[in-house]
C-alpha cells in the first residue's frame, strides 16, 4: 500500500495535478506560492491574518518587492488564500513556512511550528507529503513533527511523507528568485525523500538531495552562521580600524581585488533579517544538549549584538564634539528596514538604535521610503511615521544617523544639508567632509 500511495503522490506532483498547500504567506510562503502557481499547480495559501488573506484574494500583494500584478495573475490562475486550516484536507502537499524566532532569553521559539502542526494534523490524510521550510536546529523535524504526524495513526514513510527543505529566500534580490535558487531537501526515509524531490522539482530548477532531515537542517544553519561569523569579523575589524584612523571600506575594496581566498563582507550597525541574527542561537542552544560549547559562533554573535551600542557611542561622540548631548538632541534615523531597498523589518538593528536613542533622551524621527509607518514588532513598536526628506527637514536635526542605505535616498541632498552624518554603511566612506562620521 505504501508504494502505491507514494507512486500516486509522485504521479500527481509530476503531472502537476496535485494541490499545493502553503502555510504562512509571508516573505517565504508568498513567493513560493506564486512560483507554484506559475508552474501550473493549483495552490492554496494559508494564513491566520484575515486582512492579509483578503488582500491576496483581491489580487493585491502585502509585500513591497512583490508586484500585485503577479498576485493577481496567480489568482486568475486559481490561487486562493484562506484562514481555514481545515482545508488542509483537500491538498496533496503541505509546506510550512512559519516564523521561528527567539524568545526573550535568546532561545529557540518553535511555538509557531508546533502550534501550526497541532492545528493541521487532524486534517491530514494518507498520501500527503509534509515539508518544513522554517529555519531551525538539527533534529526539529524528527523530534517535533514526526511524533505529531504519527499521533494521528499515519505512518511516516508509508502512509504520509515528511521532509525538511530549508527556505533560501533573499527578499529584494534581483539576481536570484525562488525558482533559480537550488533547493536542499532531506527526507525522514528514502520514500519521504522521493516525495520531497517530486514536490519541488517541477517548481525549482535544481534540487540538492541530502541523506536526512538533520543534514538539511544543519545545512541551512551553516549557510547563515558562515555569514554571521564573517560579518562579526568585519565588524570587529571596523572597530579596530576606526581606532587606528583607517577607512575599513577602503581596506575591503583593496582586499577584494585578490582573485582567490577572500570574500568581501561589509560592516554595519548590527545584524538584521529573519535568519542571520537568529540561526547561530539555534545551533548553540542545541549544541548544549550534546555538551558542546560553540565558542567561535557565540563570539561572533556577541560582536554583532554589540554593534548598535557601539554606533550610539559614535553618535554620542559626534554630538559632544558639536557641544551637544544625546539628551534633547533631534536625531533622524535614515532607513529602518534591515537591509536596503526592501520593507522587511525583521530583527532590524534600526529598531534597537531607535530604542537606545530614546532611552538616552533623544528626540527621534525616521525616514524610510519603504516603511511609511513603524510596524508592530515582537519587541519594538513606536508611534512613528516616515518623514519626507528635504533641505528644510534635514536642517532641523542635530544629527542624521544613516542606518540603512536605501538607493532611494538623495545622498547629495543629505550631505549638503545635514549638520552631522553618522554613516554606518560606508555610503560616504571616501568623503573627507568634517561633518561625516564613519561608524
Q: What is the CATH number for 347?
A: 3.40.50.720
The share of the chain scoring above pLDDT 70, in percent, equals 99
> Is there a single domain that holds both residue 181 and residue 257?
no
User: What pLDDT sits at residue 162?
Assistant: 98
User: What pLDDT sits at residue 274?
Assistant: 67
User: What pLDDT sits at residue 1?
Assistant: 47
CA proximity to 278, closest of 163, 110, 161, 69: 110
> Is there a single domain that holds both residue 371 and residue 411?
yes
Helix then strand then coil, % of the chain, to nearest 5: 40, 15, 45
**Domain for residue 217, yes or no?**
no
When the pLDDT of each residue in the chain is averaged and rounded to a whole number, the result is: 95
Indicate the pTM of the whole model: 0.92
Assign 377 a pLDDT band (cuts: 50, 70, 90).
confident
Tally the C-alpha atoms within 13 A of residue 327's C-alpha that lie toward its C-beta.
1
The share of the chain scoring above pLDDT 90, in percent, equals 88
Q: Is the pLDDT of residue 276 over 80?
A: no
- Region of poorest pLDDT, from 97-101, 122-126, 325-329: 97-101
Residues 44, 120: Cα–Cα separation, whole Å: 14
Question: Which of residues 150, 185, 210 is at a domain's end?
Answer: 210
> Is there a single domain that holds both residue 294 and residue 193?
no
**Domain for residue 102, yes or no?**
yes
Q: Answer for the pair 399, 315: CB distance below 8 angstroms, yes or no.
A: yes
Q: Is the pLDDT of residue 244 over 80?
A: yes
Residues 156, 425: Cα–Cα separation, whole Å: 48
Q: How far separated are the first and last CA of the chain, in Å rounded?
A: 63
**Domain for residue 216, yes or no?**
no
CB < 8 Å & 24+ apart, contacts of 290-296? 296/229
CA proximity to 307, closest of 342, 277, 343, 263: 277
> Is there a single domain that holds both residue 401 and residue 306?
yes
Q: Answer for the pair 123, 130: CB distance below 8 angstroms, yes or no.
A: no
> Is there a single domain that holds both residue 198 and residue 50?
yes
Residues 235, 417: Cα–Cα separation, whole Å: 29
> Is there a single domain that holds both residue 343 and residue 265?
yes
- Using CB atoms within 10 A of its CB, is residue 235 exposed (0-12), middle (13-18) or buried (19+)? buried
Q: Answer for the pair 356, 289: CB distance below 8 angstroms, yes or no.
A: no
Question: Within 10 A of 313 (CB to CB), how many other CB atoms are there?
Answer: 12
- Region of poorest pLDDT, from 126-140, 264-278, 332-346: 264-278
* Torsion sign (Cα): 178, 158, 212, 11: negative
> Is there a single domain that holds both residue 109 and residue 67?
yes
Q: 324 is in which domain, residue-wise? A: 227-438
**Domain for residue 350, yes or no?**
yes
Residues 111, 337: Cα–Cα separation, whole Å: 25
User: What pLDDT sits at residue 429?
Assistant: 94
Residues 310, 287: Cα–Cα separation, whole Å: 29
> Is there a single domain that holds both residue 180 and residue 52?
yes
The tens digit of pLDDT for each residue in 314-323 reads: 999 999 999 9
Assign 104 a pLDDT band (cuts: 50, 70, 90).
confident
97 included as an active-site residue: no
User: Which grid cell is 279?
Assistant: 540561526
Distances (CA, A) of 396 to 76, 275, 364: 49, 37, 12
> Is there a single domain that holds both residue 269 and residue 416?
yes
Catalytic residue among 97, 185, 192, 275: 275
Q: What number is the average pLDDT over the span 254-283? A: 88
Question: Which of residues 210, 242, 264 is at a domain's end?
Answer: 210
**Domain for residue 147, yes or no?**
yes
Q: Is the pLDDT of residue 2 over 80?
A: no
> Is there a single domain that holds both residue 261 and residue 359?
yes
Q: Answer for the pair 397, 419: CB distance below 8 angstroms, yes or no.
A: yes
**Domain for residue 268, yes or no?**
yes
The structural domain count of the chain equals: 2
**Domain for residue 168, yes or no?**
yes
Residues 152, 6: Cα–Cα separation, whole Å: 19
> Is there a single domain that holds both residue 276 and residue 188?
no
**Domain for residue 30, yes or no?**
yes
User: What pLDDT sits at residue 30?
Assistant: 97
Q: What number is the average pLDDT over the span 325-352? A: 94
Q: What number is the average pLDDT over the span 211-221? A: 97
> Is there a single domain that holds both residue 194 and residue 240?
no
- Residue written as grid cell 524528527: 142
Amino acid at each position: 500500500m505504501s508504494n502505491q500511495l507514494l507512486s500516486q503522490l509522485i504521479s500527481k506532483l509530476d503531472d502537476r495535478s496535485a494541490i499545493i498547500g502553503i502555510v504562512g504567506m509571508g516573505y517565504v510562503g508568498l513567493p513560493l506560492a506564486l512560483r507554484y502557481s506559475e508552474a501550473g499547480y493549483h495552490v492554496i495559501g494559508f494564513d491566520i491574518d484575515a486582512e492579509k488573506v483578503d488582500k491576496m484574494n483581491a489580487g493585491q500583494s502585502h509585500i513591497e518587492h512583490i508586484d500585485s500584478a503577479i498576485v493577481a495573475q496567480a489568482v486568475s490562475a486559481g490561487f486562493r488564500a484562506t484562514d481555514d486550516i481545515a482545508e488542509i484536507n483537500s491538498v496533496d502537499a503541505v509546506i510550512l513556512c512559519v516564523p521561528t524566532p527567539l524568545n526573550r532569553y535568546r532561545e529557540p521559539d518553535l511555538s509557531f511550528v508546533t502550534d501550526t502542526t497541532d492545528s493541521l494534523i487532524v486534517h491530514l490524510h494518507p498520501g500527503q507529503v509534509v515539508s518544513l521550510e522554517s529555519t531551525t536546529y538539527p533534529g526539529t523535524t524528527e523530534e517535533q513533527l514526526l511524533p505529531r504526524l504519527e499521533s494521528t495513526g499515519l505512518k511516516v514513510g508509508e502512509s504520509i511523507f515528511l521532509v525538511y527543505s530549508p527556505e533560501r529566500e533573499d527578499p529584494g534580490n534581483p539576481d536570484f528568485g525562488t525558482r533559480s535558487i537550488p533547493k536542499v531537501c532531506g527526507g525522514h526515509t528514502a520514500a519521504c525523500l522521493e516525495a520531497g524531490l517530486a514536490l519541488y522539482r517541477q517548481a525549482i530548477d535544481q534540487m540538492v538531495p541530502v541523506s536526512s532531515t538533520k543534514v538539511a537542517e544543519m545545512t541551512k544553519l551553516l549557510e547563515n552562521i558562515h555569514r554571521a561569523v564573517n560579518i562579526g569579523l568585519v565588524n570587529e575589524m571596523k572597530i579596530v580600524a576606526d581606532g587606528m584612523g583607517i577607512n575599513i571600506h577602503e581596506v575591503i575594496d583593496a582586499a577584494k581585488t585578490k582573485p582567490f581566498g577572500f570574500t568581501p563582507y561589509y560592516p554595519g550597525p548590527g545584524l538584521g533579517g529573519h535568519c542571520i541574527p537568529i540561526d547561530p542561537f539555534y545551533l548553540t542552544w542545541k549544541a548544549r544538549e550534546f555538551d558542546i560549547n560553540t565558542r567561535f559562533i557565540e563570539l561572533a554573535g556577541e560582536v554583532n549584538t554589540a554593534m548598535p551600542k557601539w554606533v550610539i557611542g559614535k553618535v554620542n561622540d559626534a554630538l559632544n564634539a558639536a557641544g551637544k548631548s544625546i539628551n534633547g538632541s533631534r536625531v533622524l534615523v535614515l532607513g529602518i528596514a534591515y537591509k536596503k531597498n526592501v520593507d522587511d523589518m525583521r530583527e532590524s538593528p534600526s529598531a534597537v538604535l531607535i530604542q537606545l536613542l530614546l532611552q538616552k533622551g533623544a528626540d527621534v524621527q525616521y525616514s524610510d521610503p519603504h516603511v511609511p509607518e513603524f510596524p508592530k514588532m515582537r519587541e519594538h513598536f513606536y508611534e512613528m511615521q516616515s518623514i519626507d526628506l528635504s533641505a528644510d527637514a534635514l536642517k532641523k536635526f542635530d544629527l542624521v544617523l544613516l542606518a540603512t542605505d536605501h538607493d532611494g535616498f538623495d545622498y547629495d541632498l543629505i550631505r549638503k544639508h545635514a549638520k552631522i552624518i553618522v554613516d554606518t554603511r560606508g555610503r560616504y566612506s571616501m568623503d573627507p567632509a568634517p561633518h561625516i562620521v564613519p561608524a
